[in-house]
Structure 1
Amino acid sequence: MPAYSDFSDSKLTVLLKQGDRLAFTEIYNRYWAEMYFHTFRMLKDEDSSKDVLQDVFSALWLKSAALNVNTKLSGHLYIAVRNRVFNLIAQNKVRSDYLSSVAGFITDISSETSLLDEKQLLEIVEEEIRNLPPKMKEIFELSRKDNLSHKEIAEKLGISDQTVKKQIQNALKILKPKIRSAQAGFFVLFFLR
């Protein structure tokens, strides 16, 4: 009998749908490191990345009966990881250096949306940022565009880390509803973490 490591992804998916624990173990061993790298590239946080993978692989096992055998396994995992990361971002649970990591991620998923949509969304986001109160706008842009940490912004502007954090939170409270109302889709998360 061949080893599970010799099985194709599609064969492993079929076995997983049947509740085969060894198939799940092989999928986990085959994809954990790749998915971790992908997740860590977006989050830049080891614990959050591991939490995301725990959720993704747990859901894979628990919902294995509903898997579509025609879906590419790696694609399924990438989408599941992306969705979990976006959920974290929407809940403001990731660190402030997310923006720089998203640039590489967007390259991976650029085929999922047109460049025109991205350009229109960026224009909407930029317009909404321009409408923020001046000090809030300055702090938000230093965080998101210049990729400065809260501490670096606080030192540069002579204010406390907490003031920076609160200003960014307030900016997000203002921006999120406006951008959502423009049906901006998942690229909103490029700016809003």
Structure 2
Amino acid sequence: MSPKWLIVDQELVALLREGNKEAFAEIYRRYWTVMYMHALKMLKSEDDARDVVQEIFTSLWLKSQSINPDVNLAGYLFISTKNRVLDLIAQKRVRTDYLGSLAAFAEAHNNETLADIEEKELMQALQREIEQLPAKMRQIFEMRIHQHCTYKEIADELNLSDKTVKKQISNAIKIIRPKLHHLSTIVLILSGL
């Protein structure tokens, strides 16, 4: 083998294809820093750039017998490095997107779970207060709240006037609201009646 600095890339590739370790070492010495700087410029991470270049040279050695003997070695290494960098960026983006989606999903479901628990507790508190109402008032109020009946529907079913139904619901709200004033959602529900 001629002195290393005299060997052209094409000769190094031919020797590499034969499994020559010295040829591989010379390619590594010639191109490692250039490929590292190329990867570092794109990745902005020394560790990632080092890993990419290491993978490129490992792959070069493992695939050495199948490399085209007429390949432009510098171009081949640059393209391999660029493609590996793009793969790494895509993997990180997918991972980041996945983690972001997972976090958003967890957050949404935690919020939904909390909202479900709060709503359940609110409705239980409201129901306890409804059960304390006088019987006729409770019946009218439950028809309005649970069955979503209109004043007229309640009046027709119970043979009462619309005014009586409205007054009974108004009185029920006046009784319940002060007891549940600390539960703002209940106050809003009652305001809608």
Q: Give me the TM-score of the superposition, normalised by structure 2.
A: 0.48
Q: Give me the TM-score of the superposition, normalised by structure 1.
A: 0.48
Query: Whose Rg is larger?
Result: 2
